[in-house]
């Protein structure tokens, strides 16, 4: 997966394809509602996929939700195609764990 920074125009086009993900600077975060132990299990599944694709999210686990924030660290903390690919993979894992969208 390409790890070259994407131009802003391409980021703007890709972001609507990922429901629930938003742009915060040069990262795309999303929060899922899930109880603590379910969140731990989901994180383990995400970590397995991250190891396979060689790309990792920053993860924040709380008692009732998990927040993922994705950026490409080795591209100068910029957004790349790899970030959007990983976000889609995280969405599928979250759905398998019945995690719900977090309403801020």
- Alpha carbons 78 and 80: distance in angstroms, whole number: 7
Residue range 8-101 in CATH 3.40.630.30:
no
Retrieve residue 91's tokens: 């969405």
pLDDT at 1: 54
Where exactly are the structural domains of the chain? 8-101
User: Cα-atom radius of gyration of the chain, to the nearest Å?
Assistant: 13
Retrieve residue 71's tokens: 């950026």
Q: What is the pLDDT of residues 32-83, one digit of tens each?
A: 999 999 999 999 999 999 999 999 999 999 999 999 999 999 999 999 999 9
């Amino acid at each position: 997966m390409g790890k070259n920074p994407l131009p802003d125009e391409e980021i703007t086009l890709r972001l609507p394809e990922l429901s629930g993900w938003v742009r915060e600077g040069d990262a795309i975060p999303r929060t899922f509602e899930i109880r603590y132990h379910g969140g731990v299990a989901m994180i383990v599944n995400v970590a397995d996929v991250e190891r396979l694709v060689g790309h990792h999210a920053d993860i924040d686990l709380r008692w009732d939700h998990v927040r993922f924030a994705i950026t490409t660290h080795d591209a100068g903390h910029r957004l790349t195609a790899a970030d959007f690919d990983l976000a889609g993979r995280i969405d599928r894992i979250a759905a398998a764990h019945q995690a719900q969208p977090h309403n801020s």
